[in-house]
Amino acid sequence: MQELIKLKDIVYNILKDDHRARNNDTWLVVETLRTMGYKIYIDYKEINNMPKFESITRCRRSIQKPNSNEGEFKADKDTQKLRQ
């Protein structure tokens, strides 16, 4: 839970200081990771052409969805429990 609070503080500060992050989730994600010390190598001129991180995870959820026609590439049991 402490990690979530810290993450929320980081996101809050980025949104407070960076107007671009308020309008672009990809920018917000990249800036959050960068603030946390991760090295991110992205051509910032192309950031608006990149797929949204949420779109990627939604596709993953759709592909992995149990009881669907797809339901492929299931996560391991521990990850499945965490996602429930």
Residues 32 and 3 in one domain: yes
Domain of residue 58 covers 51-84
Domain assignment present for residue 16? The answer is yes
Nearest to 29 by CA among 21, 20, 17, 41: 21
Domain assignment present for residue 46? The answer is no
Spatial distance between the Cα atoms of 27 and 18, rounded to a whole number of angstroms: 10
For residue 42 the two structure tokens come to: 């992205």
Residues 7 and 29 in one domain: yes
For residue 32 the two structure tokens come to: 């959050």
In the chain, the number of structural domains is 2
Residues 33 and 55 in one domain: no
pLDDT in tens, 35-64: 999 998 888 888 888 888 888 888 877 777
Domain assignment present for residue 8? The answer is yes
**What's the one-letter identity of residue 10?**
I
**Residue 33: pLDDT over 90:** yes
Domain assignment present for residue 45? The answer is no
Instruction: Could you list the beta-strand ranges (E) of 1-84.
Output: none
pLDDT value at residue 35: 93
